[in-house]
């Protein structure tokens, strides 16, 4: 079983992205099923995003970055940023941060 945390940094401003809605879904035979939703705190983090460990499987983590930029009065190209990933059979902690700007975004596996 595994756990997920995330962190969103606004690289254009050099600060955490607070108030970003984030959702986690799991791929099932029926399609994508919601697992949990949250919102980044003032440090751009969602700490205990998955309070219960997740089973191995195919997941996607989606951050609604377009809303974040619109609230700040900034134009942006992307409406959302999405990390599509697989949790292997062996349990572990996955820290999946988003680095965002109005014109790009990226991710990596953090610690």
Render pLDDT for 25-74 as a digit per residue (tens, 0 to 9): 999 999 999 999 999 999 999 977 887 888 899 999 999 999 999 999 99
What is the pTM for the complete model shown? 0.92
Residue 72 DSSP label: T
- 43 sits in the region (left: phi over 0; alpha: psi -120 to 50; else beta) called alpha
Q: 3-98, what's its fold?
A: Immunoglobulin-like (2.60.40)
Pick from 4, 111, 108, 96: which is nearest to 55 by CA?
Answer: 4
Q: Which residues pair with 33 in a beta bridge?
A: 26
Number of H helices, E strands in the chain: 1, 10
What are the structural domain ranges in the chain?
3-98
CB distance 86 to 79 below 8 Å: no
Summarised one tens digit per residue, pLDDT across range 83-97 is 999 998 777 888 999
Residue 103 DSSP label: T
């Amino acid at each position: 079983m595994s756990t997920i945390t995330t962190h969103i940094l606004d690289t254009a401003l050099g600060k955490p992205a607070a108030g970003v809605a984030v959702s986690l879904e799991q791929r099932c035979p029926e399609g994508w099923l919601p697992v949990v939703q949250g919102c980044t705190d003032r440090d751009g983090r969602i700490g205990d995003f998955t309070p219960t460990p997740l089973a191995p499987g195919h997941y996607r983590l989606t951050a609604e970055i377009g809303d974040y930029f619109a609230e700040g009065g900034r134009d942006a190209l992307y409406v959302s940023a999405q990390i599509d990933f697989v949790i292997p059979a062996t349990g572990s902690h996955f820290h999946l941060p988003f680095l965002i700007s109005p014109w790009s975004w990226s991710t990596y596996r953090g610690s």
